[in-house]
């Protein structure tokens, strides 16, 4: 786009200097494709940023947003309500594992992360255990960019510029060389869950509020846990009175081929965070689903009932327009059977992506549901360079994939057809063979 001035906009999580040299501008989207300012059609191999599973520009969502904007464009989130937000809370609760049926709305996954961590700390304080404040994350975990989520996150470059935050510690990730090229859940590493016992021994359970993990790590390049690992984390948390939070901003609402990663992996945490797919990416919205009795602990405070139980929330928590988009997006997931579709198509995707084993530079491939990650051998001293090069070659071929760290990440739209999977994998193969 020749007349577009790129100077003023400071782009998030973007190499701004590189982008200005070779801008990549989308002007339109439809279904599983973006259209660029230079007239190209680009397959969306990451569902936007893991959020537009039902495909872009769904007319049902546009109509719902339009209707809502003309009916109730905004309602104060504090002290007043509107119907769609109560209905959505109930609906989100129904999608969660049994018992996680009280729902707090945020505008993003980052806010969902920090909200869940604050709920955990406040919960223990209300229980008379105010010293339970430490938050435990996992190496390579990603929980957004706000102060809590950033500090429980385990991707080092995301933290190093920003100084101190809440007291945290981390358990190891489950990316093991002996699991390389595993399909779905890898065989090795259940014992890594025991590292949580060591962390607890180091700090004492009386100081720990919560453990937060993604069921599978998304942003670190789709790191899938071995069978039994999440169950073991669950058991250890129960044994030591520590809340377990699943950050399902990527794994939730279809990407795992199930309603949640909790369902896919058969483990029920105490809280689940979702965002992204909740509105199919159309309007920002996040949510924290909480165990009923955690919510009831807040409601049981002895203060007068006109006083707040939880002084937390956002101007746009449960925004009417976001709720309208979410209702329409969840209608689509149901009506089009998209979660089942991911479940059924996942083996085809798995075969396709693992056919890249043996291609130049590919040192590992991992997958779960409609998510996959490839690790690429480093250029000497430059771990992030090759994925960028490969992603740019894919883009030139008409395929958008994510590059992050030493990985390429795929997050297919739930509507993807087999021939589109084949074409995406062919483009990746050609881009890997380039040098």
Ligand X SMILES: Cc1ncc(COP(=O)(O)O)c(C=O)c1O
Interface contacts to ligand X, rule CB under 6 A: 108-110, 113, 142-144, 214, 218-219, 247, 249-250, 275
Assigned token pair, 315: 């101007």
d(CA 114, CA 93): 20
Q: Which of 261, 253, 252, 202 is nearest to 234 (CA)?
A: 261
DSSP letters spanning 215-268:
SSBSTTT-BPPPTTHHHHHHHHHHHTT-EEEEE-TTTTTTTTSSS-HHHHHT--
Rama region for 99: left / alpha / beta (φ>0; ψ in -120 to 50; rest):
left
The answer to whether 242 and 270 have CB atoms below 8 angstroms apart is no
d(CA 204, CA 132): 10
d(CA 299, CA 54): 37
Report, in Å, the least distance between residue 214 CB and ligand X.
5
3-state secondary structure of 31: strand
Instruction: For ligand X, give the closer residue by CB, 61 or 356.
Output: 61
Residue whose C-beta lies closest to ligand X: 109
Assigned token pair, 244: 């377990």
Report, in Å, the least distance between residue 115 CB and ligand X.
11
Instruction: For ligand X, give the closer residue by CB, 218 or 226.
Output: 218
Instruction: For ligand X, give the closer residue by CB, 108 or 279.
Output: 108
Report, in Å, the least distance between residue 325 CB and ligand X.
14
Report, in Å, the least distance between residue 4 CB and ligand X.
24
Residue 2: count other Cβ atoms within 10 Å of its Cβ: 4
Report, in Å, the least distance between residue 13 CB and ligand X.
9
Instruction: For ligand X, give the closer residue by CB, 143 or 319.
Output: 143
Report, in Å, the least distance between residue 409 CB and ligand X.
10
Instruction: For ligand X, give the closer residue by CB, 249 or 390.
Output: 249
Q: Dihedrals φ, ψ of 277, to 5°?
A: -70, -10
Q: Which strand (E) or helix (H) includes residue 90?
A: helix 83-95
Beta bridge partners of 41: 35
Report, in Å, the least distance between residue 46 CB and ligand X.
10
Q: CA separation (Å) from 295 to 125, 126, 290, 332, 397?
A: 13, 11, 7, 30, 50
Instruction: For ligand X, give the closer residue by CB, 108 or 182.
Output: 108
Report, in Å, the least distance between residue 275 CB and ligand X.
5
Instruction: For ligand X, give the closer residue by CB, 77 or 371.
Output: 371
Instruction: For ligand X, give the closer residue by CB, 261 or 320.
Output: 261
Q: What does the DSSP 8-state code read for residue 378? A: P
């Amino acid at each position: 786009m020749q007349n577009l001035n790129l100077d003023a906009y400071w782009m998030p999580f973007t190499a701004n200097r590189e982008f200005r040299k070779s801008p990549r501008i989308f002007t339109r989207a439809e279904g599983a494709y973006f259209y660029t300012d230079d007239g190209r059609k680009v397959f969306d191999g990451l569902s936007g940023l893991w959020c537009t599973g039902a495909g872009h520009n769904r007319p049902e969502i546009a109509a719902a947003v339009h209707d809502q904007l003309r009916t109730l464009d905004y309602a104060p989130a504090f002290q007043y309500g509107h119907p769609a937000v109560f209905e959505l809370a109930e609906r989100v609760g129904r999608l969660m594992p049994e018992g996680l049926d009280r729902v707090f709305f945020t505008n993003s996954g980052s806010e969902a992360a920090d909200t869940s961590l604050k709920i955990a700390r406040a919960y223990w304080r209300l229980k008379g255990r105010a010293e339970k404040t430490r938050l435990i994350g996992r190496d390579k975990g990603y929980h957004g960019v706000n102060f809590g989520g950033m500090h429980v996150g385990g991707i080092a470059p995301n933290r190093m510029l920003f100084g101190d935050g809440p007291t945290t510690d981390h358990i190891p990730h489950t990316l093991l060389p002996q699991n390389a090229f595993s399909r779905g859940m890898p065989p090795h590493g259940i014992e890594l869950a025991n590292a949580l016992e060591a962390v607890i021994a180091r700090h004492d359970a009386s100081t720990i509020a919560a453990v937060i993990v993604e069921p599978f790590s998304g942003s670190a390049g789709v790191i899938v846990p071995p069978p039994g690992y999440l169950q073991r984390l669950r058991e250890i948390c129960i044994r030591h009175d520590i809340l377990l939070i699943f950050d399902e901003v990527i794994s939730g609402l279809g990407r795992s081929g199930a309603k949640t990663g909790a369902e896919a992996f058969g483990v029920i945490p105490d809280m689940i965070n979702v965002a992204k797919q909740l509105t199919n990416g159309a309007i920002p919205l996040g949510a924290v689903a909480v165990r009923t009795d955690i919510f009831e602990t807040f409601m049981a405070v002895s203060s007068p009932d006109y006083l707040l139980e939880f002084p937390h929330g956002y101007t746009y928590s449960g925004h009417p327009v976001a709720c309208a988009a979410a209702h329409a997006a969840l209608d689509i997931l149901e009506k089009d059977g998209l979660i089942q579709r991911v479940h059924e198509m996942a083996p085809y995707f798995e075969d396709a992506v693992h056919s890249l084993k043996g291609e130049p530079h590919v040192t590992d491939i991992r997958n779960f549901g409609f998510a996959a990650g490839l690790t690429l051998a480093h250029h000497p001293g430059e771990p992030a360079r090759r994925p960028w090069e490969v992603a740019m070659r894919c883009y030139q071929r008409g395929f958008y994939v994510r590059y992050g760290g030493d990985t390429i990440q795929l997050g297919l739209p739930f509507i993807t057809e087999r021939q589109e999977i084949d074409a995406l994998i062919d483009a990746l193969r050609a881009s890997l063979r380039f040098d």
